[in-house]
Amino acid sequence: MKKEYDVVIVGAGIAGLYGALNLSPGLRVLLVCKEELILSNSALAQGGIAAVIDTENDSADAHFNDTLIAGGFKNNPNAVRILVDQGPNEVRALIEQYGAEFDHENGSLHFTLEGGHSKPRIVHYKDYTGRAVSETLIEAVKKRKNVELLEHAVVCGMAKGKGFSFDILSGDEHFLVSSHYCILATGGIGRVYEYTTNSKIATGDGIALAYQLGAKIKNLHLVQFHPTGFANHLTRETFLISESVRGEGAYLLNCRRERFMHKYDERLELAPRDVVSHAIMEEQKATGSKEFYLDITHKPANFVRERFPMIYSRVLEQGFDMTKEPIPIYPCQHYLMGGIDVDLNGKSSVDRLYAAGECSHTGVHGNNRLASNSLLEALVFSHRAADEINRLAQQEQISPVPAEFPEIQNALPLPAGIRTETRAIMQRAYFITPNQQEIVNGYERVCALKKQLETTPYRIDRDYVEAKSLVTVAYIILKELL
Backbone φ and ψ for 260, nearest 5 degrees, come out as -140, -10
Is the same domain home to 93 and 138? yes
For position 239, what pLDDT does the model report?
85
Residue 412: DSSP 8-state = B
Q: Do 316 and 373 belong together in one domain?
A: no
Looking at the structure, do residues 346 and 434 belong to the same domain, yes or no?
A: no
- Catalytic option among 246, 273, 352, 423: 273
Domain shared by 356 and 424, yes or no: no
Splitting the chain (482 residues) into consecutive groups of 10 residues, what average pLDDT does each group show?
90 96 96 89 81 96 97 97 98 96 92 90 89 94 96 95 92 92 96 90 96 97 93 70 89 96 94 91 95 96 92 91 95 94 98 97 96 95 98 80 80 95 96 95 98 96 97 98 95
Residue 468 belongs to a domain with what CATH number? 1.20.58.100
The verdict on residue 106 lying in a domain is yes
3-state helix, strand, coil in the chain (%, to 5): 40, 20, 40
- Statement to judge: residues 377 and 234 lie in one domain: no
- CB distance 192 to 75 below 8 Å: no
Q: Tell me if residue 361 falls in helix, strand or coil.
A: strand
Q: pTM of the full predicted structure?
A: 0.92
Rounded CA separation 155/461 (Å): 10
- Measured CA to CA in angstroms, residue 454 lies from 274, 427, 447 at distances of 35, 24, 11
Domain containing residue 427: 418-481
Verify that 389 and 241 share a domain, yes or no. no
Same domain, 350 and 289: no
In 3D space, the residue among 17, 1, 103, 2 whose CA is nearest the CA of residue 385 turns out to be 17
What's the CA gap between 216 and 208, in Å, rounded?
A: 11
pLDDT at 234: 55
Q: What gap in Å lies between CA 279 and CA 229, rounded to an integer?
A: 15
Q: How many structural domains is the chain composed of?
A: 3
User: 412 lies in a domain?
Assistant: no
Count CB atoms within 10 A of the CB of residue 325: 13
| Sign of the torsion angle spanned by Cα atoms 296, 299, 300, 303 | negative
- What gap in Å lies between CA 445 and CA 461, rounded to an integer? 23
Helix, strand, or coil here: 8?
A: strand
279 and 179, same structural domain?
A: no
Q: How buried is residue 395: exposed, middle or buried, by Cβ count under 10 Å (0-12/13-18/19+)?
A: exposed
CB 219 within 8 A of CB 390: no
Four-point Cα dihedral 289, 294, 299, 300, nearest 10: -110
pLDDT at 414: 96
Residue 197 and residue 61 share a domain? yes
Q: What is the CATH number of the domain that holds 351?
A: 3.50.50.60
273 catalytic per annotation? yes
Let me know: does 355 contact 339? Beta carbons within 8 Å. Answer: yes
d(CA 447, CA 474): 9
Total H helices, total E strands in the chain: 14, 21
Give CA–CA dist 135/143, Å, rounded.
13
Inside any domain, residue 408: no
| Other beta carbons within 10 Å of 292 | 23
Mind giving me the DSSP string for 177-225? EEEEEEEE-----GGGSSSBSS-TT-S-HHHHHHHHTT--EE-TT-EEE
Task: Name the DSSP class of 415.
Answer: P
Nearest CA-CA partner of 204 in 190, 218, 215: 190
One domain, residues 26 and 64: yes
Tell me how many degrees the CA angle 343-198-183 measures, rounded to the nearest 5.
30
